[in-house]
Structure 1
């Protein structure tokens, strides 16, 4: 069937890709099936940088949003639900973070049905609806559903698509591009935390949700519209593909992410509170989150840039070992503010690069059509880890630490990072072996 002048025609070709035949580059009415790599948009230049920028903005809102919800959490504890048990209130943030990670597995089926751009815009609509509905919520269960499940699922779609898109457009600068995009979550805290804090105090929590909804809709809407694949890929006939669970390299990536989240959650949930317990004000605690976010963003970008030279897995092995050590030698062993500050900065440097390097490992070793599914499974694994570890850590802090002693959860955080060294070392071995799921190297 011929394409109309100026239109594209999709044709299946035997090399595993769906290639797009441009009719105005051939004779009128003639369908070309012999497109070469050079006839696609170029890698590492031109529209590739638009993809990086759009994906970064998406991550700033989709991944940075849950970071800003710490302000909401404080409001729930101190004002809105002051007579409710803390563990009950915690389900709001637990479901927000869990769904933000776990729901990404749905991105593959939606991209298959609607395309990358439309799937991202669907995420925008769902997440915005969740925020608007949250602004009318007055009960914990309502916020668990709106802010937690609905907003979280919408954000997860945007996160998965935006984290996978740069791998399709970059080669030489792939590490740098993925690092920049992955840093969006940390950078988002620098922007969204002050906005949420100001709107909650100047207006009210209802309007804070609505302002956030407007920002979310505008910025992820525009960025989502700019997203598109460099070339269309044949997707698996299965809506959700669990075959990667038979791939030892992929399983090791999932295990690293699960263990990392246990240690990472200890910092996110309890380190700011530990600062208050050594005599610092809540304002100081909030300001240090900004400092941590700056170093976290820089670390993700720099590690992505040097991953090809030093090896992504090698960087992670060294950094996770250092992170476990500083948990015990700094946070566990001291109550001085200067040591806490140094620890927080060092954690921002050494404790977070997996969020960019894990994506880079997947993009480097797996073909484009598998990247989104494996990233989705990786984030599903982290989501399940969050769902289990957040309440468990809270119980340990409540029962063992009596809500004043952080020693037990500090040890838990250190143990999680040390334990992640085992799958990392195995991953390094598996990446060197022949794997039918890996992309064919030229």
Structure 2
């Protein structure tokens, strides 16, 4: 039996040889070795995540600002669909105009593997300033654009690439500070995107009649610059940089060998295929159904206002009853709402109710998707795995809205085809999340997954 006393020179040690005079007890050596091991791995151990504290919540503040400027901007692009088709790009079809917003969403997500790889190696220190510059510069150039290809390059590519460099570091940094409260913290951070989607459409709508389109875009760019200064000062990772490793394709493809990861990505892909269609077309469809232009232009803001609560509340519940469990529920609810409300009713009141409920349900997806992915990932690979998932769903984001626009044209300006397509894709995504939940946590309905 190992004791706390120091063995005498005549007593055999555990190894069968007498100890030297200054040798520590063998049990002390064992404990010391274990402590060294614990110290080496403790920074990644769930018990070592602060789940709070000044630095952790400052990171959430910085992440909130990042999501306001990146995903928040993407959430308000629906207002440009209606504005461009009535003004600068009125000679183009809705499907052609929708390529601008589709490119924005695509570019923001498609560069995920590259940004994620760099983030895992060096953190957010250099990514955020570059993203800030590109996002602001792209919007400044959009403010002086006059041709279709100008908007494609400046708003659809340059600004969106900057948003991508802002979005991924926020997801990664905040995830390193929280474990038990991760979905809640990510939900608070993601609510910035909803708030951005509320404020910026109203701001642009009010500014254009007063100062013109150009200065409206410049003022928005200055707002983003101010918030990103705050983000650059507060957003930090808890983990030290691990350094660069060779950029290999297998670093991204190997994750798809995991059934839980692959099924989660498939669910997110189908969900993204349909999710943005109401954001892009609710203004146009509301006007067609008799809603006044003034009220219709507020529908995007209504969607995003409800999404603020959708970002936070389901994440808080998901930390307690299972993030995958809540993801399945809100995904099915989103699809059902399109068929039950948006497609079957035409009055002002049902449209507003749909905007509120749909904004809440889809808002939950934005905060829960990264939380679900982090739940099945090593913290050191958060950047790469987030990037791999969002790169895949960027293809859905790129093609989903133009497909919807083509369906509107196919149905002579009606929205039935678009609504059927959107609702079906959301339900397919929800079903994929069911299989992902089973792969991660088993078939037990009561399991917290």
Is the structural similarity TM-score above 0.5?
yes
Does residue 261 (structure 1) correspond to residue 269 (structure 2)? The answer is no
Query: Which of 319, 323, 332 is residue 343 of structure 2 equivalent to?
Result: 332
1:203 equivalent in structure 2: 211
Show the counterpart of 1:280.
291
Deviation at 1:382, TM superposition (A): 1.9
Deviation for aligned residue 1:236: 6.9
Taking structure 2 as the reference length, the TM-score comes to 0.83
**Aligned pairs (5 A) from 1:30-429:** 37=43, 42-111=50-119, 114-234=122-242, 237-239=245-247, 241-242=251-252, 243-399=254-410, 401-403=411-413, 405-429=414-438
Q: Distance in 2 between matches of 1:145 and 1:288?
A: 27
Any idea what the Cα deviations from partners look like across 1:188-220, whole Å, max 9, x if unmatched?
Answer: 012211222233222222222222222222211
Cα gap change, 1:326 to 1:134, in 2 (>3 Å): closer
Q: 1:409 to 1:175 in 2, by over 3 A?
A: same
- 1:329 is displaced (CA, Å) by 2.2
For the Cα contact (< 8 Å) 2:79–2:297, is it kept in 1? no
Query: 1:331-378, CA deviations, whole angstroms, 9 ceiling, x for partnerless residues?
Result: 222223322222222212223312111111122221111111111122
Q: Distance in 2 between matches of 1:358 and 1:174?
A: 12
Residues 239 and 222 (structure 1), Cα distance of their counterparts in 2 relative to 1, 3 Å cut: farther
**Does the CA-based 8 Å contact 1:258-1:385 persist in structure 2?**
yes
**In 2 relative to 1, CA 186–329 (structure 1 residues): closer, same or farther, beyond 3 Å?**
same
Deviation string, structure 1 residues 139-174 (Cα, Å, up to 9, x no partner):
111221111111101101111111222110112322
CA 1:106 to 1:419, structure 2 compared with 1: closer, same or farther past 3 Å? same
User: Which sits farther off after the overlay, 234-243 or 205-214?
Assistant: 234-243
For 2:56 and 2:432, the matched residues in 1 are separated by: 33
Distance verdict in 2 for CA 1:80–1:114, change over 3 Å: same
Structure 1 length as normaliser, TM-score?
A: 0.84
Q: What value does the CA root-mean-square deviation take over the aligned residues?
A: 2.4
Whole-Å Cα distance in 1 between the matches of residues 337 and 120 of structure 2? Answer: 44
Unaligned segments of structure 2, at least 5 residues: 1-37, 443-449
CA distance in 1, matches of 2:239, 2:197: 33
Contact 1:396–1:408 (CA<8 Å) still a contact in 2? yes
CA contact (8 A) 2:78 2:279 kept: no
Q: Report the Cα distance in structure 1 between the residues aligned to 2:89 and 2:337, rounded to whole angstroms.
A: 36
Q: C-alpha distance in 2, partners of 1:239/1:277? A: 50
Q: How many residues align?
A: 400
CA distance in 2 between partners of 1:68 and 1:325 (Å): 23
1:432 aligns with 2:441: yes
Question: Offset at 1:103?
Answer: 2.1
CA distance in 2, matches of 1:96, 1:282: 25
CA distance in 2, matches of 1:302, 1:200: 34
